[in-house]
């Protein structure tokens, strides 16, 4: 690889890291993919993230595989897509829980009824107290 090309790739990688930090996206050392937290959304993508987030009414999206995500507080909506994720969450009354893919484990609680959509195979979706 030419030196100029190698430096260009290094600069591009450094710029993408800066952009991830600036947008609130960050990754764990043993995980792949991004975590983005905004005032309306918590988004976990890739694989292997093990995180706890204060939900504070936001939507939680977990996409990918092998994540272990726990929230504190109440989420407005929850979407879990992929394979083998584990999510523990509280959903607001009349909120929505959507589980898609294979072998998802979702433990949820709510002070009222919620809308649920569960598609795919091998899921364990359990209401907890």
- Considering the entire predicted model, what is its pTM? 0.77
- 92/97 Cα distance (integer angstroms): 10
For the stretch 18-42, pLDDT in tens is 333 333 444 446 789 999 999 999 9
- 76/4 Cα distance (integer angstroms): 49
Contact 72, 54 (CB under 8 A): yes
Torsion sign, CA atoms 25, 28, 29, 34: negative
For the stretch 73-126, pLDDT in tens is 999 999 999 999 999 999 999 999 999 999 999 999 999 999 999 999 999 999
Torsion sign, CA atoms 60, 88, 30, 64: negative
- Looking at the chain, which runs of residues are DSSP E strands? 25-26, 35-37, 41-47, 50-54, 59-65, 68-72, 75-83, 86-102, 105-109, 115-121, 124-127
Contact 48, 30 (CB under 8 A): yes
Tally of CA atoms within 13 A in the half-sphere of 71 that contains its CB:
31
End-to-end CA separation in angstroms for the chain = 58
């Amino acid at each position: 690889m030419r030196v100029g090309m190698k430096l260009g790739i290094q600069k591009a990688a450094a710029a993408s890291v800066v952009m991830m930090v600036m947008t609130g996206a960050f990754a764990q050392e043993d995980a792949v993919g991004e975590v983005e937290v905004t005032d309306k959304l918590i988004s976990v993508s890739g694989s292997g993230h093990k995180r706890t987030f204060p939900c504070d009414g936001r939507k939680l999206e977990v996409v990918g595989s092998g994540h272990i995500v726990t929230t504190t507080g109440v989420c407005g909506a929850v979407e879990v897509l992929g394979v083998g994720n584990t999510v523990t969450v509280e959903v607001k009354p009349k909120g929505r829980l959507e589980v898609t893919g294979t072998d998802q484990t979702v433990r949820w609680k709510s002070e009222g009824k919620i809308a649920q959509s569960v598609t795919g195979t091998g899921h364990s979706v359990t209401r907890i107290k």
